[in-house]
Chain A
Amino acid sequence: MNEEGNKPGQSPEEETMDTRSTAVTRRQFLIGAGAGLVVGAAATAGLQALQPAKPVEQAKPAPPVQQPAQPAPATAIVEPVSGAKLVKLNVNGLDYSLAIEPQTTLIEVLKRDLGLTGTKLGCNGSMCSACTVLVDGVAQNSCSLLAIRESGKKIVTVEGLEQGGKLHPVQEAFWTQMGYQCGFCTPGQIMRAVELLNKTKNPTDAQIMAHMSGNMCKCGAYPNILKAVQAAAKQMA
């Protein structure tokens, strides 16, 4: 772990992600990003996804499709992957085939390539958990996962919680209990709480605090975060 703690301000990566000009169209942005192209359902993707010239965005949400487990290739892979590789991800119920370079982290794919800016990049180093998303139901720091290692996984971000225009009980509770001040850590806090309440009905305060302990809140909104998780737990019991 980094010895020095957080840097003031954000990394250059983050700046380019979030301050991108609105004059750039989504299409240009997708082409410009190069690394990740949003392609329709897995079957149609093929190697075309590697051609930056033809990005296709999936028009309407497909029902979540279970990805068949990738059969292990008979012979071991001895050649390294350098340059973009086709990676399949299910994000918030949509299947994507994306051309991703090995050094790309999952949060970069989510924010830069898929435009899902709800997930926040804080420390970019496994210290703050602002970037928490669910990977196959388990809360993980998306800044610390290489996207190509998560191929075939189901990812849920804060954008994926709302169902049919209705907020998830945890989102609702953070709102009604004011479980935030600036809100930067909130998407991560919410994802972490969702993981807890999916697994544990009626958690004790001690369980909640232990479970949430890796999620830093620089505003120190902890008392209200606790209240929000308690309220959501009641709703979900």
Chain B
Amino acid sequence: MHKFAYYAPQTVKEAARILSKNGPNSKLLAGGTDLLVQIKEHVKGPAPDYVVSVKNIRELHDVKFSARAGLTIGAGATISETLATKGVQEHFPAIADGTAIIGSLQIQNIATIGGNLCNAAPSADSAPPLIAYGATALIAGPRATRTVALEDFFTGPGKTVLKPGELLVSIHVPTPPARSGCQYVRHTPRAQMDIAMVGVASFITLDRKGRVADARIVLGAVAPTPIRARQAEDSLRGQEPTADALRAAGDIAAREESPIGDVRGSAGYRRYMTSVLVQRTAQAALKQAMR
């Protein structure tokens, strides 16, 4: 592998300082399941000369949940650690939908949700459910911290709002309100170890009368970044969630995306599957909401 110097800072501040000192020549290393492949195969530009490990930064590994405060996932926590945290599977089933399918169990033992987000693949499976739950990202730089909505975190394939010297500290997800539900489904040519052709997360909250109070529909792998299907969401708000309403929402969502065609599926097929998956995930979300 390409030779690099290795930093193991113990605080977020220090990591930010190291990153800003070394500029684009430095890369943050969390689980490494993406970064090490990128270094070995020289994809995504030249290999970095400095690698900054987050392993010794304690605060990045915490996963905390309380019904009141919601869920906070440290950017360095592994997928397995996150899923094993009490309350996660129960209150945020779609996070489990989106992360328990990332790679193999071996990968989930190493890989982090923070890394999946920062790698910013349009197909990243953790992004749509987190965005659908209304997650925010806490970002630290050498001098200050800031918070951005996760839906604004991505700017293009492999690109995020992180500026040189900044790093993702944690993801915060509010506890979903009563009468709400959320599901994420991805469609892939094969069942295991694959990358999404289309991924859809639907979050629905019902009012007391059973009409849609709020809806957030997030599409993955069908645009340069994960996107909200806002017109589809609007079409549902205030409506009875009938099969017809969901079908219409699915068709609207399919028109809001800009998919590519590749080895996993043509653009047309992606659009078709988007419509199907919006209906399926919205149905499942409704079921949870009516429990």
Interface residues of A (CB under 8 A from B): 1-3, 72, 76-82, 85, 101-105, 124-127, 129, 132, 138-141, 144-146, 148-149, 192, 211, 213-216
Contact = CB atoms under 8 A, between A and B. Distances in A.
Contact of A102 (B6, B37, B55, B106): B6
A2 B177 CA distance: 38
Contacts of A125: 36-37, 40-41
A1 B40 contact: no
B103 A101 contact: no
Contacts of A101: 3
Given A1-B34, A149-B55, A139 B4 contact: no
Interface in B31-74: 32-34, 36-37, 39-41, 43, 50-51, 53, 55-56
A140 B3 contact: no
Contact of B9 (A78, A102, A126, A141): A78
Contacts of B7: 77-81
A146 B32 contact: yes
A1 B192 contact: no
Nearest to B263: A3
Size class of the contact patch on chain B: 35 or more
A129 B106 contact: yes
Contact of A2 (B10, B41, B51, B56): B41
Contact of B106 (A2, A80, A146, A214): A214
B192 A213 contact: yes
Nearest to A148: B6
B5 A3 contact: no
A181 B230 CA distance: 52
B287 interface: no
A82 B6 contact: yes
Contacts of B195: 1, 3
Given A1-B37, A213-B193, 13 more contacts: A1-B34, A77-B9, A77-B56, A80-B5, A80-B6, A125-B41, A126-B36, A129-B106, A144-B32, A144-B110, A192-B106, A214-B105, A216-B193
A146 B104 contact: no
Interface of A is mostly: loop
Contacts of A139: 105-106, 109
Nearest to A3: B195
Nearest to B37: A125
Contact of B10 (A72, A82, A138): A72
Contacts of B104: 126, 129, 213-215
B3 A126 contact: no
The 7 lowest CB-CB distance pairs between A and B, nearest first, are A214-B104, A102-B6, A82-B5, A80-B5, A76-B10, A103-B1, A125-B37
B103 to A, nearest CB: 6
Given A146-B32, A214-B103, A76 B14 contact: yes
B163 interface: no
Contacts of B18: 78, 80
A191 to B, nearest CB: 10
Given A1-B103, A125-B41, A144-B110, A105 B8 contact: no
A76 B32 CA distance: 22
B14 A2 contact: no
B194 to A, nearest CB: 9
B146 interface: no
Given A77-B10, A145-B32, A214-B106, A102 B5 contact: yes
Contact of A126 (B50, B106, B192): B106
Contacts of A129: 104, 106
